[in-house]
Amino acid sequence: MNPNTTHYLNIFLGGGAIILQAVSIICLFLLFFGTKKNKFFFYLEKHFLVIGFLISLLASLFSLVYSEIVNFAPCYLCWYQRVFMFPLVFIFAVALWDKDKKIIRYTLPLLCVGFLISVYQNFMYYFGEGTAPCDASGVSCYQRLVSEFGGYISIPMLSLTAFFALLVLTLLVHFGQKGKEV
């Protein structure tokens, strides 16, 4: 893939990540400070499985695009995150097929572990001066392969955004369903 195409892909994914981050933060804000009965929550609860499936599918596909088409080899932390993201595609797909919205028991452990690995990788990527978890001898977090929007968007940030959005979405629907049972 030529550098211009890669740059436009990075801009596209970076813009989408920023939008997804903003929507996730708005969802958290509404969950804690808003009313539980509004059209936005109703929409998310109704389309939870489709949204979760699409986020996990796109995160998995674009991680494969970066490694297999753009030829950015993933570091070992990226591989660990893939281990926790790839099964989510199938879990959301089966739940979508069966219309089963009670999948928090299956998704939450994967989301939490993947999210924590991603938080660690992002912390080391942005603030770990010279102490990146991957050494610079091979595939490394030191290599800034994607750096858009002033360096804010990187491959670790894209992964963190996907895990964060799925975690927020899952918790939002879970607590929304608990509120209905009372």
| pLDDT of 147 | 67
d(CA 25, CA 164): 9
DSSP string, 39-84: HHHHHHHHTHHHHHHHHHHHHHHHHHIIIIIS-----HHHHHHHHH
| pLDDT of 181 | 44
Report pLDDT digits (tens) over 83-126. Answer: 999 999 999 999 999 988 888 888 999 999 999 999 998 888 88
Contacts of 132 (CB under 8 A, 6+ apart): 124, 125, 140, 141, 142
Whether 48 has a pLDDT exceeding 80, the answer reads yes
pTM score over 0.85: yes
Question: Coil, strand, or helix at residue 115?
Answer: helix
| pLDDT of 118 | 93
Total length of the chain: 182
pLDDT greater at residue 128 or residue 6? 6
d(CA 177, CA 106): 16
User: How is the chain split into domains, by residue range?
Assistant: 3-181
Whether 169 has a pLDDT exceeding 80, the answer reads yes
| pLDDT of 96 | 93
| pLDDT of 168 | 92
Report pLDDT digits (tens) over 124-168. Answer: 888 876 555 565 555 556 666 676 777 778 888 889 999 999 999
